[in-house]
Structure 1
Amino acid sequence: MREPETVTPRSDAEIAAASTLADQAGDAAELGARLRVLREEAGLSLRELARRLDISASAVSQIERGVMRPSVNRLIAIVGELGASITDVFAGGTGAHAERSSFGSYSLLRRGEIAPVVLENGVIYRRLSGSRTSGIDHFESTFPPMTSASAGDANSFATHTGVESGVVISGELTVEVHGDTVTLRAGDSITYSSETPHRVSNRSPEPCVANWVIARAPHSDPSDPLFSESHTARS
């Protein structure tokens, strides 16, 4: 008699990721509209932003109209050129839904109060900070199986200002930094200068959920190899 197949229950994170992908399938237009508003507030024309990003004006237009979703790296590049942050692209602004203490000593963001952002290849970003903090983005990323943070060309590496630190909550994540490749699993964390060429991808057959903090203007010690790495990479 044939043995019954064993079904491995999916984690809460994996179930939430699948549900979010289905629920957020139509939010590309909202994301594009928010990016367009940020561009206009920055006083940049569509063509000027395209020039700074080294992509076509048509590509920028498609992102703003919701025809095309940006990748993780592309989104970070866009908000960087606009002098904005990742938290600015979420519906509801930087803190409209956050609970605040009577004395303003904290802000509290309940899960589900602000819709996550779905990017290229189904990568999901969910804001974790209740309000915008100076120079810091705090968010959760969910990478479906076999996906990358890179735009289009999976071989491209990202560089931007600041320092980032991430911890894997579930699944497996591959991070490449300046020639080194490391695999992170649940509980593993990594920190590196964002100015060093880096690439993040999920090369496994399961979704990966990770929490990230990006500090765009860190008060760093120049003698610390972590922060001097970027200067070595550019030299």
Structure 2
Amino acid sequence: MNMSQPAPPLAAIAAALRQERERAGISLAELARRAGLAKSTLSQLENGTGNPSIETLWSLGVALGIPFSRLVEPPSPAVRVVRADEQTRLRADRADFTASLLTAGSIHARRDLYVMELEPGQPREAEAHIPGSIEHVVVAAGRLKAGPAGDTVELDPGDYASFPGDLPHHYEALTPGTWAVLVMEHR
């Protein structure tokens, strides 16, 4: 898979963040407090000048009570194709972990579809997502260790696992070139 990294869609993230914060009826300062961010960082993100990591966007989604995808996915047309070399890849701060959101669920079908690319080294330690989240993962290549903290499983190509996403959880590549498909279900 191509590991090049285009810039995150900053304008779309900024607009979605502002819209979701206003929909929730909370101030910039209150959202920053809930997400554990500096108010200046949140202000930069809403102005489209920040460069958010996956962790920052997840924290904001949890603080707003919405799926991560609502902050990064613009509305899509009836027929949509996402070419592998055109995917927007977001990197983790503390692990060799990249996620590409392929599609976000609607209000009626609360699920998001991602491609994850991982390399051995520092594992991705994910914080709990919004309550009721369930992660479904299928390994496409390589080997992966995944699951809730303290209850991980090793997966080979073609293996599937599901686990609560509303608990802290772990993703770790056991071989180079590991990638998987992740469906995030929000109940």
Same-fold call, TM cutoff 0.5: yes
Alpha-carbon deviation of 1:49?
1.0
Of stretches 83-92 and 206-215 in structure 1, the one that deviates more from structure 2 is 83-92
- Structure 1 residues 190-205: aligned runs within 5 Å: 190-202=161-173, 204=175
TM-score with structure 2 setting the length: 0.74
Identity %: 24
**Structure 1 or 2: more strand by fraction:** 2
> For residue 70 of structure 1, what is the aligned residue in structure 2?
53
Task: Tell me how far apart the structure 2 counterparts of residues 216 and 137 of structure 1 sit (CA, whole Å).
Answer: 6
> For residue 45 of structure 1, what is the aligned residue in structure 2?
27
Residues 1:126 and 2:101 aligned together: yes
- Structure 1 residues 173-188: aligned runs within 5 Å: 173-188=144-159
Partner AA of 2:127 in structure 1: A
Bigger relative CO (Cα 8 Å, ≥ 6 apart): 2
Contact preservation (8 Å) 1:50, 1:60? yes
Q: Specify every segment of 5 or more residues in structure 1 that has no aligned partner in the other structure, as ranges.
A: 1-13, 100-108, 151-156, 218-235
Go from structure 1 to structure 2 and tell me whether the alpha carbon gap of 1:133 and 1:33 turns closer, same or farther (over 3 Å shift): closer
Task: Tell me how far apart the structure 1 counterparts of residues 63 and 8 of structure 2 sit (CA, whole Å).
Answer: 26
TM-score with structure 1 setting the length: 0.61
Q: Specify every segment of 5 or more residues in structure 2 that has no aligned partner in the other structure, as ranges.
A: none
**Secondary structure in 2 aligned to 1:191?**
strand
Contact preservation (8 Å) 1:90, 1:127? no
Largest Rg, 1 or 2? 1
Contact preservation (8 Å) 1:116, 1:126? yes
Contact preservation (8 Å) 1:49, 1:81? yes
> For residue 78 of structure 2, what is the aligned residue in structure 1?
98
Task: Tell me how far apart the structure 1 counterparts of residues 30 and 69 of structure 2 sit (CA, whole Å).
Answer: 23
Q: Write out per-residue CA displacement over residues 25-67 of structure 1, whole angstroms, 9 at most, x where no aligned residue.
A: 3634543443233223322222111211233223333444343
> For residue 172 of structure 1, what is the aligned residue in structure 2?
143
Contact preservation (8 Å) 2:148, 2:164? no
Alpha-carbon deviation of 1:169?
1.5
